[in-house]
Amino acid sequence: MNIKPYFHNAKYYETDQMSIIHHSNYIRWFEEARIDCLEQMGIPYDEMEARGVIIPVIGVSAEYKSMTRFKDTVEIRLKLLAYNGVRFSMGYEVRDAETGQLRCTGSSHHCFIDRNDRPIILKKAAPDYHQRFMAFLEHSKENL
C-alpha cells in the first residue's frame, strides 16, 4: 500500500500577528492529511460514518521545528504508528514542499465507536476496513 503525501498551501487567514502560520493550524492540517490518507486506503470517511463507524480524536500532539509562512506549500507524510482494531495512532511529518525543511512533527490517537458512543472492534464491525488498516500498518513498519 503506497500512501502519497498530502500537500497544503498555507493560507493568509492561517497566519497570526507575526505573519507566520498559527500553531493551531497544524492540527487541522493533520486532520486534512488523515482524511486524505483514509481515502487513499479505500476508506472514505463519509462512507465509514454511513456504515456507523466513527473515529474520534482522543489525543493529539505537535512539536514545532520551524516556521511556515503565507503561500508556503507543505508536504505532510503519515504513518500508522499503532493499530489494534479498537484504537490507532498516526504519526505526521510536515516539511516545506520546496526545500524539504522540517516544519512540524506530531501524532494523533483515535478509537472506533458506534453512533451510541460505544467502542467497537473494527475486525468485527468492518472486516474490510480492518484489512486495509493492517496493510497500512505493515507498509508503515517497512518504511519507518
Three-state DSSP string of 81-136: EEECCCEEEEEEEEEECCCCCEEEEEEEEEECECCCCCECCHHHHCHHHHHHHHHH
User: What are the tens digits of pLDDT across the range 71-103?
Assistant: 999 999 999 999 999 999 999 999 999 999 999
pLDDT of residue 26: 97
CA 140/CA 144 separation, integer angstroms: 6
CA 6/CA 13 separation, integer angstroms: 20
pLDDT of residue 115: 94
pLDDT of residue 144: 53
Look at residue 142 and tell me whether its pLDDT is greater than 80. no
End-to-end CA distance of the chain: 14
What's the average model confidence in pLDDT over 113-129? 96
User: What are the tens digits of pLDDT across the range 28-37?
Assistant: 999 999 999 9
What's the average model confidence in pLDDT over 54-65? 97
CATH match of 6-142 with 3.20.20.140 = no
What's the average model confidence in pLDDT over 38-59? 96
